[in-house]
Structure 1
Amino acid sequence: MAPWAATLLITSLLLLLSSVTYSSSFSRPHRICIIGSGIAGSSAAHFLHDLGKSTFSPNSLPIEILIFEKRGRVGGRMATVSIGGDTFEAGGTILHPKNFHALNFTSLLNLSTTTGRDDDGVDDGWFGIWDGERFVLETIPQGKSFISKQIARLWNTVTLFRRYGFSLIRMQRFVQGMLESFLRYYEKDRPVFSSVEEMLKWAGLYSLTQRTLREELDDAGLSSLLISELVTVITRINYGQDVSISGLAGAVSLAGSGGGLWSVEGGNWQLAAGLINNTNASLHLHEEIVSVSNHGDYYELNSTQENSYHCEVALVATPLDEVRINFSPPVTLPKRSTQHTYATFVRGFLNPEYFGLSPSSEIPDLVATLEVKGLPFSSVSVLKRYSDKDKTYKIFSRAPISDELLDKLFSVRSDTRMINWPAYPHYVVPEVFAPFMLDQSHLYYINAFESAASTIETSAVAAENVARLILSRLSSSAHVGSRSGELQGVGPENLHVDL
């Protein structure tokens, strides 16, 4: 054989071997392990699966997803409770009409929604604010006919305006400004963010996390009466805290008291269950992860089932405030405490005398309380009316409600359930944020964003960003770009890119 022919043959074989090696390396799936099956974990699985297929087409990024859940169910803080033969939302309950990820999930999964509680005989417009001795404000019930509803709505609007004046409009403007900024996270050309601070500053929301809600509302021109009464009532119900929470968390809380709110019929937990099913992820129930070790090229996850898993990416999708996971090497997080909310469900009948009323008096369908020392609950609301003296109620409180107190609060009580929710962070300004990237490799933390605000939708927004962050860094390390090639060379120091 001529020398040039031998050289050509060797070169061809080397090129063929290189091609086969690259193809084999590229086709091996990236194994991503997700700790937690709530809305953060299930949304992350959805976005990783969806974007991994579409964003990098035709050279799609093959992904294998494992999800670990310590409980025997998915959904995290989205759950239902059965009482008196009916099922009610026990955790994350309401969704805003501009929660576009949740709306898209609902459409994708062919789930039905519900926007009101008329079928349960509940009047959402009938509420009273109680200070521990008397009702300082009370609206009137709407009735059943169209005319009576319109009259009641007009009366209640006038009642609120007479008490709070134009501060109501200023409050609405404050909330609308926050919503307009938050809607930027749905823009098509938004960047990928490597930190919570960067994500908030880009949308113009960071400053709201550095000052209290009271400070923000004072600057917005709201009256002290509105802040101490209606605003405080809303933050106590939605976050179990007063107006000393951050301006952003407070604005999100106020948005959750507006109109058009909805939920998934049958339980919001179905969002998580449906998203996980759609990703074909490997779901490991009753398997709590107790340690995560970085071995350079992979992470080793060890569980309570004495199983060990090797993953290229480890994604924490559960709050680490009260979860005991041993990280090796250790990770450093800013101190953050959890605000526990106790949700107590009672079938029975409220005792009017507890509220200083005559035995024949009617009690509003929502009783909300002010920030007064010694008040044992934040709110009592009717979930379903069976008859005038047979209803199911939900009580929110910061501490467990004793049987002794329940016997005073209710004249009739046939069934009771209590759930202790580690519901959301205890907000303290100025907020300091944990990183999305817990190391310089592939250990990520979605719930760092909860220090800004904690809702179903904010978890989904954070999950989408972290999913894009993971994919951008995986594609960079594999030297695989998108169709336009703009992702090549992306690393932790340069992640402000467009996917």
Structure 2
Amino acid sequence: MPTMSLQTLSLRTLLFLGLWHSGRRCLASAPELKAQPRNIAVIGAGIGGTAAAHYLRQEFGPGVKIDVFESDTVGGRLATVKIGDHEYETGGSVIHPLNLHMKHFIEKLGIPVRKEVPSRMAIFDGKEFVFEESDWFIINFFRMLWRYGFQFIRMQMWVESVLDKFMRIYQYQQFGYSFTSVERILHAMGSDGFLTLLNQTLEEAMMAEGFSQVFLNDIVTPITRVNYGQSVRINGFVGAVSLAGADSGLWAVDGGNKKVCSGLLYRSKSELIPARVTSIVFKVRPSKSGVSSSFYEVNYVDESGSAHSLYDIVVIATPLHQGKSDIAFSGFSPPIPTHYPGSYHQTVATLVHGKLNVSYLGSTGEASDFTVADVLTTDSKDSVIHSLSSLTPVHIPEGYQRNPGSHSHVWKIFSPHPLTKEHLKSIFLSYDSVSETKWLAYPTYRPLQRKTPPFILHDRLYYLNAIEWAASAMEMSAIAARNVALLAHHRWHEQVGKIDQEDLHTRLRGEL
């Protein structure tokens, strides 16, 4: 990553300190606020749902009851699996150093960052390595310079320029501003530039910036394949997020990233309801005074059978798309669809404890000399996998070191389809454990042909996962959770001045 200017570093430091010290706005200083809601439901206990519970508690205070529904395990797409004596990440695994909400969470929860284990990367075209990282920065620099000129440095600068605009969202949220749509939140961050990225491919965006097709094929495509299982024909915004995921300084949570979810759930003092939500019904009830009141009836199935509860506010933090959810909506005008257009992309994560066949990767050297830990792949008919990585446990034992290729250890393979026994036999000389997880992990990304799903489905019914159609990442879910909590608070108390305000960057620039 290019060195940040002192001005940029100062801005980011102030933003982080502002996030750290900012708390729930004091209701006593706002006597015009009406009574708080009594009951709030959050559907989904992944990073989005648990962050939403945290921020809803922050906004609405200790008096409101918050129920979090989860039909599976807390953590959602942040998950681990045990192999031998250790646990390993199977879902979302890395966090960017500028993801300030995730940083804030672990500081608040007192969870340490996982110890870093050095690793080397290579890019595989299905037959051989087209690039292999050295332990020496200067050697990597000249290899890149020889083959691609200054395009790698220019790519880092381009991503940095996107990140600098992206960082504005923390300032807006620190001051309590919220947005009613994904397009509005992106426009507030990056003006028309982010919306343009959303509506063109990464390939189009980068070629317009002067990057060559060879550089896109050899360097950019392997990054989008390992992060999103897709090519450079994804939209430009998620493409920039993907390239940021190749930055230095990436980190993870000691004990597994899912610990953030369980920690936020506990800290929010929410009640976890292990149940599958089947429908949400809008109910209007008359009162003795003649003024009717409205509620959302959440119907669900748990181990005891069918049940329902009434809520003033509902936040849906699970994708409303085919294969991800079947929540039915009743009593709404206009009607709310059970599924929105678009589909989620399948990525299969296969964890194998075995001895790698280094010749599969085109290596002719001794396996004991093979120390590459992360293999990315080009978009080639000869590549049946998207990536191959030597995994470290979610908790790094004292004195832990990566084994060379001649030893058995745990590898994670991302592929578009389940691996056959023939595939495994070609990749490994021997193996004794295989764990396969099929993820519908993120949307199938294309430049948008339509608007993203709305954050507001109904008066007090919100949809957090709309943000994923711009980009899917832990921090994107946390940003959406903060936005939805602010939106729910402001709309409940009719504080329209905090919603969809234009030109916030200019207006707030002098307030930091």
TM-score of the aligned structures, taking structure 2 as reference length: 0.81
Q: Determine the structure 2 residue equivalent to 1:376.
A: 384
- Kindly provide the CA deviation profile for residues 375-421 of structure 1, in whole angstroms up to 9, marking residues without a partner as x: 21101111143463222111011111112210121001011111111
Aligned partners of 1:139, 1:172: CA distance in 2, in Å?
17
Aligned partners of 2:362, 2:240: CA distance in 1, in Å?
33
Aligned partners of 1:117, 1:338: CA distance in 2, in Å?
32
- Kindly provide the CA deviation profile for residues 56-94 of structure 1, in whole angstroms up to 9, marking residues without a partner as x: xxxxx84211100001x2111111111132111111111
- Report SS of the residue matched to 1:408: helix
Q: Which 5+ residue runs of structure 1 have no aligned equivalent?
A: 1-22, 54-60, 119-123, 143-151, 477-486
Question: Within 5 Å, which residues of 2 pair with 1:300-449?
Answer: 300-305=297-302, 306-321=306-321, 322-328=324-330, 329=332, 330-332=335-337, 334-358=340-364, 360-361=366-367, 362-363=369-370, 364-384=372-392, 385-386=402-403, 388-430=406-448, 432-439=451-458, 441-449=459-467
Aligned partners of 2:133, 2:42: CA distance in 1, in Å?
47
Q: Determine the structure 2 residue equivalent to 1:104.
A: 104
- Counterpart selection for 1:138 from 129, 132, 140: 132
Aligned partners of 2:117, 2:336: CA distance in 1, in Å?
45
Find out whether 1:161 has 2:145 as its counterpart. yes
Residues 345, 392 of structure 1: 8 Å contact kept: yes
- Kindly provide the CA deviation profile for residues 164-190 of structure 1, in whole angstroms up to 9, marking residues without a partner as x: 111112111210111011101011336
Offset at residue 495 of structure 1 (A): 5.0
Q: Determine the structure 1 residue equivalent to 2:395.
A: none
Letter in 2 for 1:194: T
- Kindly provide the CA deviation profile for residues 281-302 of structure 1, in whole angstroms up to 9, marking residues without a partner as x: 11112x0101111113001111
- Report SS of the residue matched to 2:352: strand
Aligned partners of 1:378, 1:301: CA distance in 2, in Å?
40
Q: Determine the structure 2 residue equivalent to 1:459.
A: 477
- Kindly provide the CA deviation profile for residues 136-161 of structure 1, in whole angstroms up to 9, marking residues without a partner as x: 22233x3xxxxxxxxx2221222122
Offset at residue 334 of structure 1 (A): 4.4
Letter in 2 for 1:104: H
Find out whether 1:181 has 2:178 as its counterpart. no
Find out whether 1:88 has 2:88 as its counterpart. yes
- Report SS of the residue matched to 2:456: coil
Identify if the C-alpha distance between structure 1 residues 383 and 424 changes in structure 2 by more than 3 Å, giving closer, same or farther.
Answer: same
- Kindly provide the CA deviation profile for residues 88-131 of structure 1, in whole angstroms up to 9, marking residues without a partner as x: 1111111111100000000000000025224xxxxx2x222221
Letter in 1 for 2:453: A
- Kindly provide the CA deviation profile for residues 208-229 of structure 1, in whole angstroms up to 9, marking residues without a partner as x: 1011001111111212221111
Letter in 2 for 1:331: I
Offset at residue 357 of structure 1 (A): 3.6
User: What is the RMSD of the two structures over their aligned residues, measured on CA atoms?
Assistant: 2.2
Offset at residue 52 of structure 1 (A): 2.1
Find out whether 1:39 has 2:78 as its counterpart. no
Residues 80, 267 of structure 1: 8 Å contact kept: yes
- Report SS of the residue matched to 2:138: helix
Offset at residue 28 of structure 1 (A): 6.7
Aligned partners of 1:307, 1:406: CA distance in 2, in Å?
46
Q: Determine the structure 2 residue equivalent to 1:193.
A: 179
Residues 184, 190 of structure 1: 8 Å contact kept: no
Identify if the C-alpha distance between structure 1 residues 365 and 62 changes in structure 2 by more than 3 Å, giving closer, same or farther.
Answer: same
- Counterpart selection for 1:288 from 276, 281, 287: 276
Residues 177, 486 of structure 2: 8 Å contact kept: no
Residues 79, 257 of structure 2: 8 Å contact kept: yes
- Kindly provide the CA deviation profile for residues 257-307 of structure 1, in whole angstroms up to 9, marking residues without a partner as x: 11111111001111111111011111112x010111111300111112201
Residues 469, 495 of structure 1: 8 Å contact kept: no
- Report SS of the residue matched to 1:341: strand
Q: Determine the structure 2 residue equivalent to 1:148.
A: none
Aligned partners of 1:134, 1:26: CA distance in 2, in Å?
66
- Report SS of the residue matched to 2:167: helix
Letter in 2 for 1:324: D
Aligned partners of 2:78, 2:377: CA distance in 1, in Å?
25
Residues 114, 255 of structure 2: 8 Å contact kept: no
Aligned partners of 1:153, 1:274: CA distance in 2, in Å?
38
- Counterpart selection for 1:243 from 205, 214, 232: 232
- Counterpart selection for 1:473 from 491, 497, 500: 491
Question: Within 5 Å, which residues of 2 pair with 1:43-58?
Answer: 43-53=51-61
Q: Determine the structure 2 residue equivalent to 1:10.
A: none
Identify if the C-alpha distance between structure 1 residues 312 and 182 changes in structure 2 by more than 3 Å, giving closer, same or farther.
Answer: same
Corresponding residue pairs, total: 437
Question: Within 5 Å, which residues of 2 pair with 1:222-233?
Answer: 222-233=211-222
Offset at residue 134 of structure 1 (A): 2.1
Q: Which 5+ residue runs of structure 2 have no aligned equivalent?
A: 1-30, 285-293, 393-401
TM-score of the aligned structures, taking structure 1 as reference length: 0.83
Offset at residue 435 of structure 1 (A): 0.3
Moved more, 383-392 or 86-95: 383-392
- Report SS of the residue matched to 2:446: coil
Letter in 2 for 1:202: A
Offset at residue 331 of structure 1 (A): 1.1
Offset at residue 461 of structure 1 (A): 0.4
Q: Determine the structure 2 residue equivalent to 1:276.
A: 265
Q: Determine the structure 1 residue equivalent to 2:65.
A: 64
